[in-house]
């Protein structure tokens, strides 16, 4: 029996030194970086800027692959099924690991099927209203909505999106009722709030900034824990009286579940070097992203809490896209 056990174990015993050698030499070939959106947008820019610098730190090229569709589901499935050798990474974000899993049943587990590498950064959403609306701050807006029941509508980038759930969080905390008008993307939703077809929305800050600065919409509050440098005069939702109100469009790096700890640490250390580069911070400021370096453990904790927040809200507000 002992001899049979040894024979059965021999392939693994032979493979162990090779595995250890592969980890010790990591990376010795190009890495694939999956961006779960189509090429050309802000998220894609973030991924490409990161990869350009991360590849130089690691001493290997990083090949960016865009796999949009399904709110990041296609890209997430590909990543979850990849070999956990460190050569396939993905830019996880609030949709792939937060709002989508909270509002519908997916073919992957956003926590168990991935290895967290590290956070890149985040940007808040911002409550904006049509420029002609009488409300000049959050308190006045809540009063306006309550005085006009059923007559105030808000737009979103689509059902289950962060823009949708953030507005539902606002409704839950204020008791103010607004009609949800879902759009196919942030651009048409923004156009209609500018035109007055809808009265409010919670777009990402980067998308909203040009319209805020031009005066076509009015910013009432940002959703982050602190005021944003791009809108220093605009209060946070907490400052406006909504305690604990937080909603962030965040970006991070994940890999398939089961990645070796040594490789995870090496990738996280490399990310920390990139996030410390002033020119990288400057590039991402175009998307209003504040860099937020985290250890893998901190990033995992952040993802779990964000997922729990949106799952609880979706259950409370009865938002189920599978229904």
Of all residues in the chain, the percent with pLDDT exceeding 70 is 93
Domains annotated for the chain, with CATH where assigned, are 9-123+249-316 (3.40.190.150), 126-231 (3.40.190.10)
Distance between CA atoms of residues 138 and 308, nearest Å: 26
Asked if pLDDT for residue 6 goes beyond 80, the answer is no
Rounded to an integer, the average pLDDT of 173-198 is 96
Q: What is the pLDDT, as a whole number, of residue 64?
A: 98
Of all residues in the chain, the percent with pLDDT exceeding 90 is 89
Distance between CA atoms of residues 305 and 313, nearest Å: 12
Helix (H) or strand (E) holding 234: none
Q: What is the pLDDT, as a whole number, of residue 280?
A: 97
* Cβ-proximal residues to 232 (8 Å cutoff; 6+ apart), any chain: none
pTM, 2 dp: 0.91
Q: What is the pLDDT, as a whole number, of residue 323?
A: 78
Decide: 165 and 132 in contact? Cβ < 8 Å: no
* 252: confidence class by pLDDT, cuts 50, 70, 90: very high
Q: What is the pLDDT, as a whole number, of residue 19?
A: 52
Tokens of 8: 């059965």
Q: What is the pLDDT, as a whole number, of residue 70?
A: 82
* Cβ-proximal residues to 208 (8 Å cutoff; 6+ apart), any chain: 126, 128, 190, 217, 219
Q: What is the pLDDT, as a whole number, of residue 254?
A: 98
Asked if pLDDT for residue 1 goes beyond 50, the answer is no
Residue with tokens 């729990």: 308
Between 149 and 65, name the one with better pLDDT.
65
Tokens of 45: 């820019």
Asked if pLDDT for residue 71 goes beyond 90, the answer is no
pLDDT tens-digit series, residues 12-23 = 455 455 556 557
pLDDT tens-digit series, residues 31-69 = 999 999 999 989 999 999 999 999 999 999 999 999 998
């Amino acid at each position: 029996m002992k001899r049979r056990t040894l024979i059965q174990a021999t392939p693994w015993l032979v493979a162990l030194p090779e595995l250890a050698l592969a980890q010790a030499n990591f990376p010795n070939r190009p890495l694939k970086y999956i961006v779960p959106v189509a090429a050309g947008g802000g998220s894609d820019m973030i991924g490409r800027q990161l990869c350009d610098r991360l590849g130089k730190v690691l001493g290997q090229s990083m090949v960016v692959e865009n796999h949009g569709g399904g709110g990041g589901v296609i890209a997430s499935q590909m990543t979850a099924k990849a070999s956990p050798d460190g050569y396939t990474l993905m830019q996880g974000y609030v949709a792939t690991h937060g709002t989508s899993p909270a509002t519908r049943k997916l073919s992957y587990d956003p926590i168990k099927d991935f290895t967290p590498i590290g956070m890149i950064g985040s940007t808040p959403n911002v409550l904006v209203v049509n420029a002609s609306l009488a409300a000049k701050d959050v308190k006045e807006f809540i009063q306006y909505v309550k005085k006009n029941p059923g007559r105030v509508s808000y737009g979103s980038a689509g059902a289950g999106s962060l823009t949708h759930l953030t507005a539902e969080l606002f409704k839950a905390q204020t008791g103010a009722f607004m009609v949800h008008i879902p759009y196919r993307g942030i651009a048409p939703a923004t156009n209609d709030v500018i035109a007055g077809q809808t009265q409010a929305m919670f777009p990402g800050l980067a998308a909203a900034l040009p319209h805020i600065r031009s005066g076509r919409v009015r910013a009432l509050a940002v959703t982050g824990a602190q005021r944003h440098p791009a809108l220093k005069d605009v209060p946070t939702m907490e400052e406006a009286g909504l305690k604990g109100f937080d909603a962030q469009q965040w970006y991070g790096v994940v890999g398939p579940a089961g990645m070796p700890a040594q490789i995870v640490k090496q990738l996280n250390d490399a990310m920390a070097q990139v996030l410390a580069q002033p020119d990288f911070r400057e590039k991402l400021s175009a998307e209003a992203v504040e860099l937020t370096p985290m250890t893998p453990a901190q990033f995992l904790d952040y993802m779990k809490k964000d997922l729990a927040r949106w799952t609880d809200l979706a259950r409370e507000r009865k938002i189920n896209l599978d229904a």
